[in-house]
Amino acid sequence: MSDQISRKELIKRFRALGYSGPFSGGKHQFMKKGKKKIRIPNPHKSNDIHISLVKEILRQAGISSDE
């Protein structure tokens, strides 16, 4: 398993889990599913997100890494 995922792939996978967005909001964009709301990291030069941050986003969303 790679230690990074592209922002585009992260958004694609959250959409597959039923999230809509991303939407603009304050400093970060976010995605929504019902009452759940997760922040999506802003794009950076490399546009890749380290797996540790992805795991934190999954934890906050209540999603197992298997999903």
Domains of the chain, by residue range, sit at 1-44
Exposed e or buried b per residue across 40-49, where buried means at least 16 C-beta atoms within 10 angstroms of its C-beta: bbeeeeeebb
- pLDDT, tens digit, for every residue of 5-17? 899 999 999 999 9
CA distance 51 to 65: 11
Residues 39 and 28: beta-carbon distance below 8 Å: yes
pTM: 0.81
**Does 66 have pLDDT greater than 80?**
no
**Does 62 have pLDDT greater than 70?**
yes
- pLDDT, tens digit, for every residue of 21-48? 999 987 889 999 999 999 988 876 667 8
pLDDT-derived band at 60 (thresholds 50, 70, 90) equals confident
- Write down the pLDDT at residue 34: 92
